[in-house]
Amino acid sequence: MSTNSGGIHLQDLETKQGPEGITRFSKEQAAYYAEKEREERIRALKVPYEDARVRELLRGFGEPVTYFAEDAGSRRERLLNWMLERSYEGQEDILMATVQGDEEDEDEDHETYSEGSQELLEARRKIALYSLEKAKLRLEKERKEFEVPVPEKILSARSAADHFRKVDAMGSQVGGERPMSIIRFCQDGNKFATGSWSGQVKVWDTKDLSQVRLYRGHTDKVSGLDWHPGCTAWDETSENVCLATGAADNSVCLWNGKQSTPISRLDGHLARVLRVAFHPSGNYLASGSFDTTWRLWDVATETELLMQEGHAEGIFSVAWQPDGSLLSSGGMDAIGRVWDVRSGKSVMVLDDHIRHIVSMDWAPNGYQLATASADDTVKVWDLRKVSLSQSIPAHSSLVSDVRYVQSENAVLLLSSGYDGCVKIWNPTTGALVKNLVGHEEKVMSVDGHGDRLLSSGFDRTIKLWHP
């Protein structure tokens, strides 16, 4: 009798017949239900992430604490597989009691803390100093803007909206053989980069949509991409880090302008990496993964400083607040969180979406955060009030990306959706400024620089939009 890893007998399922003698389950269906059962068992086991606790459990179960050249991620995976096998043998109650024994007296919502490294402490200090200076400059700018008369601000916003209503498709290019999952402008707007399901990362010239560099290093779908803040202009001779990418091969890659292969590969995630985001200082990198954690990396030393839990399911998006003091994360559990990276605490929970959060972006003012979800909405949150300030029924299908764009006169909000549309919004009123239609299938990503917009889609194309 054949079985799969989920413990369901395929032969039994295949021979079950309905009243008319028709097979009720196909092999694909059986595999699907087996995988679902496996995922439920893994969630129920709640295998710890702390390496010290993993070692303690392995020792308690009579298993080798570590193998030669085995890292923390592999050790946890070995423990998970060992416990999973025992759960299929009917020992899940004993296993769960062992894993959760030291937590049974704690409140379900109680936050626990573990001691960090000296390197993490030093990073928190540097981030605090950096963010204080950035916040000071931002507030000075806001004070000057506050002095501008209100009628002048209204006229400026109307002018920007009128300008963006003239936006239309100015160019289109086939980006590759697979869907184009993410697109991002370089700092100066003259170049942009794309990631695709083929695992390729490409740099393009914005002016004529010509390819200037092909990066190879990932072996699976690229979903995350971000430019280094110090890379103000792409230089093909530079040996400094200019890009970071995350992919379904569980890795994060760092790239420079000079070579077409990764200058570094950051390994540690146990599942697909969905998004990566550089800290505004450029010294640190955050990555979110389906292993339910986001991680903080030191770019210079290429080491992991922090592995942060807090989501019940995979993390789809991470984004840094402009000052660099806060980081937001959103996941498959439909929950978003705002973290104070200086202290490690969760300071706000975003719990108004009813389906998973796919994308996030911070407004230049530093206190507004936009989230895009599979519930077809974009929501804007106000950190000053610690509450939801606006809900926009943005698309008729999943909202795949959301981005703030700073134009000459105002800040506007961009969104892309699986309904094939790119939309421009007034973030203050929630009013639709322009609906851009041009992709033949789902739009997977959008970005803006000045009054130029870029979008990439499931139809494998890149489109440039401009008034």
Whether the CB-CB separation of 440 and 420 falls below 8 Å is answered with yes
Note whether 244 and 335 are same-domain residues.
yes
Angle separating helix axes 92-100 and 72-86, nearest 10 degrees:
140
> Is 462 within the bounds of a domain?
yes
pLDDT of residue 69: 78
pLDDT of residue 9: 43
Average of per-residue pLDDT across 310-314: 89
pLDDT of residue 384: 92
Task: Using the 3D structure, point to which of 43, 68, 102 is the last residue of a domain.
Answer: 102
Note whether 129 and 213 are same-domain residues.
yes
Helices (H), 101-188: 118-146, 150-164
Tell me how far apart the alpha carbons of residues 265 and 255 are, in angstroms, rounded to a whole number.
9
pLDDT of residue 95: 61
* Cα four-point dihedral sign 324, 431, 458, 334: positive
Task: Using the 3D structure, point to which of 67, 102, 137 is the last residue of a domain.
Answer: 102
Tell me how far apart the alpha carbons of residues 446 and 308 are, in angstroms, rounded to a whole number.
28
Note whether 282 and 195 are same-domain residues.
yes
Note whether 22 and 162 are same-domain residues.
no
Least confident of 79-93, 127-141, 277-291: 79-93
For 197, the token pair is: 């399901």
> Is 110 within the bounds of a domain?
no
Average of per-residue pLDDT across 326-352: 94
Statement: residue 15 has pLDDT above 50: no
pLDDT of residue 107: 45
Percent of the chain exceeding pLDDT 90 equals: 64
CATH number (domain holding residue 276): 2.130.10.10
pLDDT band at 160 (very low <50, low <70, confident <90, very high): confident
> Is 216 within the bounds of a domain?
yes
Cα distances (angstroms) measured from residue 113 to each of 270, 271, 308, 345: 21, 23, 10, 9
Please tell me the total count of domains within the chain: 2
In tens, the pLDDT along 101-137 reads: 544 444 444 555 667 788 999 999 999 999 999 999 9
pLDDT of residue 22: 42
Tell me how far apart the alpha carbons of residues 435 and 456 are, in angstroms, rounded to a whole number.
16
Average of per-residue pLDDT across 392-399: 95
Statement: residue 350 has pLDDT above 60: yes
> Is 80 within the bounds of a domain?
yes
Average of per-residue pLDDT across 204-225: 95
Count of Cβ atoms closer than 10 Å to residue 370 Cβ: 26
In tens, the pLDDT along 33-64 reads: 777 777 777 777 778 877 788 888 888 888 88
pLDDT of residue 152: 83
Domain that holds residue 46: 15-102
Average of per-residue pLDDT across 394-406: 95
pLDDT band at 99 (very low <50, low <70, confident <90, very high): low
Q: Which residue has the higher pLDDT, 102 or 428?
A: 428
> Is 346 within the bounds of a domain?
yes
pLDDT band at 94 (very low <50, low <70, confident <90, very high): low
Statement: residue 321 has pLDDT above 70: yes
Note whether 316 and 368 are same-domain residues.
yes
Average of per-residue pLDDT across 454-465: 95
pLDDT band at 370 (very low <50, low <70, confident <90, very high): very high
Rg, the chain, Cα only: 24
Note whether 375 and 228 are same-domain residues.
yes
Note whether 87 and 123 are same-domain residues.
no
Tell me how far apart the alpha carbons of residues 22 and 245 are, in angstroms, rounded to a whole number.
48
- Cα 85 to chain centroid distance, Å, stands at 31
> Is 149 within the bounds of a domain?
yes
Note whether 288 and 147 are same-domain residues.
yes
Note whether 72 and 214 are same-domain residues.
no
Which residue(s) pair with 421 in the sheet? 437
pLDDT of residue 85: 84
Statement: residue 4 has pLDDT above 80: no
Note whether 51 and 171 are same-domain residues.
no
> Is 7 within the bounds of a domain?
no
Angle at 179 between CA 178 and CA 183, to 5 degrees: 125
Mean pLDDT, all residues of the chain: 87
Q: Which residue has the higher pLDDT, 242 or 156?
A: 242
pLDDT of residue 14: 42
Average of per-residue pLDDT across 368-392: 95
> Is 218 within the bounds of a domain?
yes
pLDDT of residue 29: 72
Note whether 151 and 97 are same-domain residues.
no
pLDDT of residue 11: 43
Note whether 234 and 366 are same-domain residues.
yes
